[in-house]
């Protein structure tokens, strides 16, 4: 049912529709030989449970929702490895730790690392390859799963028309979600996340592949060089 090889201790994976649209991003943690914890966004827990239950058929498996709190710990620590922030880190569940950096600082690290986030870069409109999820959440050697055919077809016979890019936007106010990105008077993408970093805004956005890597885009009259 999921897009990655879950025989490893932990991995990122996707639950997809037959047309390879994202139902939910997951982190699959193998707690035991027959015990898997699927970490996802709180609002997607019931969606994931219902989808897996509907496809369970005759499999002898129990599917239940668990609630946990998660904190990100940088440096050497025991936990579930994460590459979301561009630095060695793990997720630790139910640890009761106090934060040492702000939410905005963590968001800045995520954006600078080019990591997509549910509700921002990931929704039902995007294909996995557009968000770079084919490189981190998909196995091209495992068995069948919903959405495998369009994912493989795009991988081997074509390419995504747009991709995630990091931008540096003039000003101190993040643009609104889905704000248009323009290049040479043409709409070439949209902003999906943004956070203040000193006297500028660092943002993520989808940009068409043909746009030069050193292009300076425009968002609502503000300069937005690609980083």
Q: What is the pLDDT of residues 60-91, one digit of tens each?
A: 899 999 999 999 999 878 999 999 999 999 99
- Domain extents for the chain? 10-157, 162-225
Q: What is the pLDDT of residues 116-150, one digit of tens each?
A: 999 999 999 999 999 999 999 999 998 899 999 99
Global pTM value = 0.93
Q: What share of the chain has pLDDT > 70, as a percent? A: 100
- 3, two tokens: 């897009």
Q: Residue 119: phi, psi to the nearest 5?
A: 85, -10
pLDDT given at position 60: 87
pLDDT given at position 119: 97
Q: CB-based contacts of 20: which residues, under 8 Å, 6+ apart?
A: 127, 128, 147, 150, 151, 154
CATH of domain 10-157: 3.30.1360.120
According to CATH, the topology of domain 162-225 is Elongation Factor Tu (Ef-tu); domain 3 (2.40.30)
118-157 CB burial, b ≥16 within 10 A, e <16:
eebbbeeebbbbbbbbbebbbbeeeeebbbbebbeebeee
Q: How many CB atoms sit inside 10 A of residue 178's CB?
A: 11
């Amino acid at each position: 049912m999921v897009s990655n090889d879950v025989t490893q201790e932990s991995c990122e994976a996707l639950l997809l529709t037959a047309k390879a649209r994202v139902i939910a991003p997951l982190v699959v943690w193998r707690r035991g030989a027959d015990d898997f914890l699927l970490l996802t966004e709180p609002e997607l827990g019931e969606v994931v449970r219902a989808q897996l239950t509907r496809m369970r058929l005759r499999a002898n498996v129990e599917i239940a929702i668990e609630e946990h709190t998660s904190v990100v710990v940088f440096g050497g620590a025991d936990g579930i490895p994460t590459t979301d922030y561009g630095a060695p880190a793990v997720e630790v569940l139910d640890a009761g730790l106090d934060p040492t950096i702000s939410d905005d600082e963590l968001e800045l690290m995520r954006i600078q690392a080019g990591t997509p986030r549910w509700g921002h870069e990931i929704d039902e409109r995007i294909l996995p390859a557009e968000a770079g999820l084919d490189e981190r959440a998909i196995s091209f050697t495992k068995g069948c799963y919903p959405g495998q055919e369009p994912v493989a077809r795009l991988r081997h016979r074509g390419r995504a028309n747009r991709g995630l890019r990091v931008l540096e936007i003039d000003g101190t106010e993040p643009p609104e979600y889905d704000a248009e990105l323009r290049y040479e008077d043409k709409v070439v993408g949209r902003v999906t996340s943004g956070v203040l970093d000193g006297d500028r805004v660092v943002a993520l956005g989808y940009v068409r592949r043909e746009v030069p890597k050193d292009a300076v885009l425009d968002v609502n009259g503000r300069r937005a060089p690609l980083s």
